[in-house]
Every structure is written in structure tokens, then in C-alpha cells.
Amino acid sequence: MKFGINSLLFTSPFTTQHTRLFKQFKQWGFDAVEIAFEDPSLIDAPKVRAALDRAELACCAICGIFGPDRDLRGDKQQQKNCLQYLAATVDAAVILGAPVIIGPVYSAVGRANAYSPQERKAQWKTVANNLKQACAYAEPKGIAFAVEPLNRFETDFINTCEQVMQMIRDVDSSALKVHLDTFHMNIEEKDSAAAILRAGKHLAHFHACGCDRGVPGDDHIAWPDIARALKKIKYDGAVVIESFSQEIEVIAKAAAIWRKLAPSQKELAVRGLKFLKKTLG
């Protein structure tokens, strides 16, 4: 099991110049970094890989960023944009050594509306067909997409692990996996540990943060139950702290971070890592 940190806690958008953060991440005790790809054109993948190697860090995942112009259930142009973006992230993942591209690959974040059953069925079919195409590109390259359920305020489309499992069945590709996040599970799942068990061998990525998106462990999440569930399914992927800071204003606004979740970004990362290594390691 690798313990990682999401770059969004410290910068947005991530660019090649932000590889200067890697040395600090390593000194704090992280094994890996999850790199957010807001704009692939700002990232020179070979240079980033070289910086990772120098810092002795792995890139455990590329964090996909899905705005209104990248939406697999949007209009034709939005779907095309998203498929092109996913292909670009796959190409970068190969260079970076990242096994998965993670996040809500199915839709723009923040799109939450009340659709009729007929509209929802049509959207589901559209997303499944698009993911089949994306997976067909990723699978031969050894890269997977790990689909993340988001809470009801961030999407109306996939909120639970079971919904991801249904999408996996419909797409029927070994390149489609599950990505779970303790913050979202705390809102949407009846039992977070049960959701982990439901994902089982399909779980390819795991986000760990507090119920308020702050320091993991400073909250009411049932961490011992989560630890037992991860152990039971023999999860050996990455556990990544995905928390956000008011210092990164664009992300704070997007994630509704209206107050300080920790005294500093460093404390959130370091104290969270200490807790996760003790509880999950």
C-alpha cells in the first residue's frame, strides 16, 4: 500500500514547474503523488517523470478534472472534448508510470439536476458507450479508469459504489475500476466499509480525508471499520489524502472550503499521513 498526496492541496493548475513540491512530499514521508491534470498542455510528462524519479516518488494516479467542457453525457462537442482529454491523460499516464486515471470520468462536476427516468437511461447509455471507447484506448496500454462516486451536491449521476459496479458491468472492460473517497462515502453510503467490500477486487484507488474534507482522523468516520474492509479485500493500491485549502482559491471555491480545515497545508498533510499509516498501514 502506497500513501500519497493530491497536488490540489498545494496548487492549481499543476504545471511542470510544480515538480519542486516533490522533494518536500518525500521528506514528509509520502510514497506517491496524485497529479491533477487541469490542463495537459501545461505538463511536460517526461520532465515530470524525471522529477518523480529524482525524488523517489511514484505517480499513483492522474486526477482527472472534469468541467463543463468535458462531459461524457453532455452535447456532442463536450463528449468529444472529454474523450480527447481522457486519451491525453492515458498517454501521460504511460510516461508517468501512473496505473490509473481517477475521478468522476462520467460527467462534469457540479452537474446535478432532476432528470426523468427516460432521460437518465439515455444518459447512462451514452456514458457507457463513451467509456467503452475510452477503455478500448487505455486497456492495451495497461492503464485503467477508476470511477469515483460523488456526493449528491456534486453530481446526480453516480453517487454510490453499487452504481459504479453497474457501470463496470455495462462497459465490460478490465480497464474500468472503482475509486472510493471517504468524504463522499460518508454522505452517500449506508456503510463505508460495506461499500469497500462491494468494490472488492475492482477497487483501484482510495481517497482518505475527514468527513469535513479536513485531516483524516479528526472526524467521526469509522476508520477502524474501513481498515478492516481494506485488509479483507487485500487492497494494495494507493491511499491518497485529497483535502483542500483556502490558499488555493479556485479549488476552495469549487469544493466549498469556506473555513480553514487545518492550521496549514503542511499540517493537514503530515498529520493526516501519520494517522493513515498508523490506522491503515
User: Choosing from 34, 38, 154, 242, which is the catalytic residue?
Assistant: 242
User: Choosing from 34, 38, 148, 189, which is the catalytic residue?
Assistant: 148
pLDDT value at position 254?
81
Pair 172, 126: CB distance under 8 Å: no
pLDDT value at position 234?
98
pLDDT value at position 56?
98
Q: Where are the domains of the chain?
A: 2-280
pLDDT value at position 253?
82
Architecture of domain 2-280: Alpha-Beta Barrel (3.20)
pLDDT value at position 269?
96
pLDDT value at position 248?
82
- Active-site annotation holds for 38: no
Mean pLDDT of successive 10-residue stretches along the chain, which has 281 residues? 96 97 98 97 98 98 97 98 98 98 98 96 98 98 98 97 98 98 98 98 97 94 98 98 85 82 93 97 85
pLDDT value at position 261?
87
- Active-site annotation holds for 148: yes
